[in-house]
Amino acid sequence: MGVYPGIKETGFYQLRHILSYENNRENTSRLKKNYHFKEHAMPNKQIPIQDGLFTWPSDNPRLIGSKCGHCGEVTFPAQKSCAACCFQDSENIELSREGKLWTWTIQGFPPKSPPYARPETPETFVPYGVGYVELPEGVRVETRLTQNDPEKLKIGMTMQLVIEKFAEDDQGNELMSFFFKPVEEGG
């Protein structure tokens, strides 16, 4: 007689165990789903380091300059009043993606901070190229270069705009900035 309660109890125990197992499995998969949901709903954002510098997000990003309606002067970054004639008649234009390397140098040590905010320390610093790229609109853009090998940079070479990660903020978002990279010519 004493056997039945034992069996019942075992059965009950097993049922509970199975239920809780099912529960757990459901919880686990729900957690997983939530986790995935979170992952997909809130990916690390790519945030431009500054608004109004370039079109973003874009498959074909362009720098945003301004052109004076009075004298035709083109500037980058965009300005409301013209630096050449002082008229306030400028409108924003999207600049060409390709230009010629006008001059360049390799920044071999961390720039003074401030004003330059950089996440790296003198130990993690990697030298980088900086230069001016002259665009067909007639504006010379001061820019970081993707290339830091002096052997691979040549005045007059064709450069193309790319938007790449510049740094990360505290939330893990990618801070995006504009760079110019050499266009491989003849292969």
**What is the C-alpha separation between 118 and 49, in angstroms, rounded?**
12
Provide, rounded to whole angstroms, the least separation between the CB of residue 102 and Zn ion: 22
Provide, rounded to whole angstroms, the least separation between the CB of residue 66 and Zn ion: 10
Nearest alpha-carbon partner for 71 in 56, 86, 50, 55 = 86
- Residue 31 interacting with Zn ion (CB under 5 A): no
Q: Which one of residues 70, 97, 100, 144 is an interface residue with Zn ion (CB under 5 A)?
A: 70
> Which of the ranges 16-24, 62-70, 136-144, 159-167 carries the binding residues for Zn ion, by CB under 5 A?
62-70
Provide, rounded to whole angstroms, the least separation between the CB of residue 172 and Zn ion: 42
Q: Which one of residues 15, 18, 19, 71 is an interface residue with Zn ion (CB under 5 A)?
A: 71
Residue 184 phi/psi, 5-degree rounding, is -65, 120
Binding footprint of Zn ion, residue count (CB under 5 A): 7
> Which of the ranges 3-11, 64-72, 102-110, 176-184 carries the binding residues for Zn ion, by CB under 5 A?
64-72
Applying the rule CB under 5 A, the residues between 72 and 101 that interact with Zn ion are: 73, 82, 84-85
- Other CB atoms within 10 A of residue 78 CB: 18
Nearest alpha-carbon partner for 163 in 27, 39, 54, 50 = 54
> What are the C-alpha distances in Å from 99 to residues 29, 40, 63, 138?
52, 37, 12, 10
- Please give the structure tokens belonging to residue 44: 């690390």
> Which of the ranges 24-32, 50-58, 70-78, 140-148 carries the binding residues for Zn ion, by CB under 5 A?
70-78
The torsion of the CA quartet 139, 144, 148, 149, rounded to 10 degrees, works out to -10
Provide, rounded to whole angstroms, the least separation between the CB of residue 143 and Zn ion: 23
Nearer to Zn ion by Cβ, of 12 and 87: the residue is 87
- Residue 68 interacting with Zn ion (CB under 5 A): yes
**What is the C-alpha separation between 141 and 131, in angstroms, rounded?**
8
Report the interface residues with Zn ion, using CB under 5 A.
68, 70-71, 73, 82, 84-85
